[in-house]
Amino acid sequence: MVFASLIFLFLFLPLNLLLYYSTKNATWRNSILILFSLFFYGWGEPIWITLMIFSALVDYVNGRVIEKYRGTIGAKIGLVSSLIINLGLLATFKYSSFIVENVNQLFGTSFNLPHFALPIGISFYTFQTISYSVDVYRNEVKAQKSFLKFLMFVSLYHQLVAGPIVRYSHIAEEIDNRKEKLADISKGISRFCIGLFKKVVIANVAAELVAKYMDADASSLAVGGAWLGLIMFAIQIYFDFSGYSDMAIGLGWMFGFHYHENFKYPYTATSVSDFWRRWHISLGTFFKDYVYIPLGGNKKHIYLNLFIVWFLTGMWHGASWNFIFWGLYFFVFISLEKAFLLKALKKLPKFFSHFYALLVIIPGWVIFYFTDTNKLYAYIEKLFSFGSGNLWNVGLTSDLTAHLFWFIFAIIACMPVYHKAKAFFETSLKKPAIFETAAIAVNIVCIFLCVAQLVGKSYNPFIYFRF
């Protein structure tokens, strides 16, 4: 099941809210959330519920062991057990075929490729449970004594399938003792509507153009068509990822949870480093706190540490060489920025540093998109074939004309217009009620447009299948 579906919007979510708020008993509320989360996760492939419950049980037990034997070899055994089992599951289901295939190519062997179906969301909940075990070991959080509460943390459907990566430490207090407020519920509905609009009205429309141009034979494309497809993918992936994060944060507010922000207008970045402080923040901070800093951070072997982090960042996104290349692509630019480039950029007007950031970020998405290296090379060649005669065609003009106002709106939506408008009404005019009233009207329009889009079109791609 996905958030951007009529079943979720008009049946699953209303029923969940109705049953949740029909009781004030915390145990019953937690049980309702668990049952709905398991049903949500098992909608397509119920068998993977057992794997998620097993993962939760492993880390629940290891967390109790770590806390009980803190400061002894027993705590280390608990931590190592958690890491081996979690990473082992991830390696088995996500990377085993990729590893065997490359071993065969490298050594000339002929091992049979394992064919495991990838459980949706395994990359997210694995990192969540790993962070829990590490934080308990570091004595940054207390081990959860109730397995049901821990299972609720792991299985919460708000963020289970599409993120963000929610750490136990961020919501530990709310798991045990949360207070649902009417104001938060209202904020949650508003945030969910915004996220749904991002996904359905912006990302899905962009996805149609992506499929038209980036999935076509590169040799048949005009250069302008190749760039249009790439720019549309940059729009699609941002509004899809940030849209799902907005919906997750909104759903969390509806049920008393406060998840951290995951995207902060990344396309307004003035450097690649700045971009990654704004893009998929939960993933970036995970690698920073659990890989980069333990390796030595900025204190020693800085570039080796960066290489490891960005290799793993790329690999986390998918079991294919293009994701590793994509991660290392950003490693190169972030290393250059740490070495000298950031100092130079700070001396330039923001317009130039912003242009530089986009010039690096947007072409990088072509590496992310193509898992087939032959198609990747062909598309890159087309992007930079400015000397060819096939630069533009009538079809491009037609597509741009048909989507002109949508495209302008999408560009504006990449900027912090909403937050600046809110600040203007609340701080400058001191009339927050006007903004709140306008926000309600906007939410109604968003829902109407989203429902109309979902009813009228069946094209609703889900790009989290590799996670």
Check residue 194 and give its pLDDT.
94
Q: How many domains does the chain have?
A: 2
346 in the same domain as 427: yes
- Closest among 200, 230, 202, 203 to 215, alpha carbons compared: 230
**What would the mean pLDDT of 81-104 be, rounded to a whole number?**
94
User: What is the spatial distance between Cα 123 and Cα 66, in angstroms, rounded to a whole number?
Assistant: 23
Are residues 293 and 313 part of one domain?
A: yes
| CA-CA-CA-CA torsion sign (450, 451, 455, 460) | positive
- Both 331 and 404 in one domain: the answer is yes
The reply to whether 235 and 171 lie within a common domain is no
Residue 462 lies in a domain: no
Q: Give 414's DSSP letter.
A: T
Residue 435: what pLDDT? 80
Q: What is the pLDDT of residue 96?
A: 93
Domain end among 127, 145, 178: 178
Q: Based on the fold, state whether residues 222 and 266 are members of the same structural domain.
A: yes
Q: Is 317 a catalytic residue?
A: yes
Does residue 170 sit in the same domain as residue 67? yes
Does any domain span residue 465?
A: no
Residue 260 CB: number of other CB atoms within 10 A?
16
Residue 418 is predicted with a pLDDT of 84
* Residue-wise pLDDT tens digits, 297-353: 888 899 999 999 999 999 999 999 999 999 999 999 999 999 999 999 999 899 999
Where among 156, 178, 200 does a domain terminate? 178
Mean pLDDT value of segment 408-422: 90
Confirm whether 464 is domain-assigned.
Answer: no
Residue 233 structural domain? 184-456
238 with 302, same domain: the answer is yes
Upstream peptide bond of 164 is cis (omega within 30 degrees of 0): yes
Q: Pick the range with the lowest mean pLDDT from 109-113, 148-152, 384-388.
A: 384-388
Cβ partners under 8 Å of residue 189, min gap 6: 250, 254, 443
pLDDT band at 430 (very low <50, low <70, confident <90, very high): confident
CA 141/CA 153 separation, integer angstroms: 14
Domain membership flag for residue 55: yes
Asked, for residue 461, whether it belongs to a domain, the answer is no
Q: Outline where 117-181 has alpha helix (H).
A: 122-137, 147-155, 168-176
In percent, the amount of the chain with pLDDT more than 70 equals 99
The mean pLDDT value for 258-268 works out to 96
Residue 466 in this model has a pLDDT that exceeds 90: no
Last residue of a domain, one of 178, 210, 229: 178
Tokens 């049946």 correspond to what residue? 11
Same domain? For 221 and 369 the reply is yes
> Where does the pLDDT of residue 423 fall: very low under 50, low under 70, confident under 90, or very high at 90 and above?
confident
The active-site residue, picked from 317, 354, 403, 419, is 317
Place of tokens 């190519």: 105
* Residue, of 456 and 387, whose pLDDT is higher: 456
212-220 average pLDDT score: 93
**Mean pLDDT over residues 23-48, rounded?**
92
Query: Do 241 and 376 share a structural domain?
Result: yes
Q: Tell whether 20 is covered by a domain.
A: yes
Residue 253 belongs to a domain: yes
Q: Model confidence over 129-186: pLDDT tens digits?
A: 999 999 999 999 999 999 999 999 999 999 998 889 999 999 999 998 898 899 899 9
364 or 432, which is more confident? Answer: 364
Q: Kindly state the percentage of the chain with pLDDT values over 90.
A: 80
Q: What residues have CB less than 8 Å from 384, skipping those under 6 apart?
A: none
- Same structural domain, 150 and 62: yes
Asked if pLDDT for residue 272 goes beyond 90, the answer is yes
350 plus 372 within the same structural domain:
yes
Q: What is the mean pLDDT of the chain?
A: 93
Asked if the structure places residue 394 within a domain, the reply is yes
The DSSP code for 338 is I
Question: How far separated are the first and last CA of the chain, in Å rounded?
Answer: 15
Same domain for 82 and 108? yes
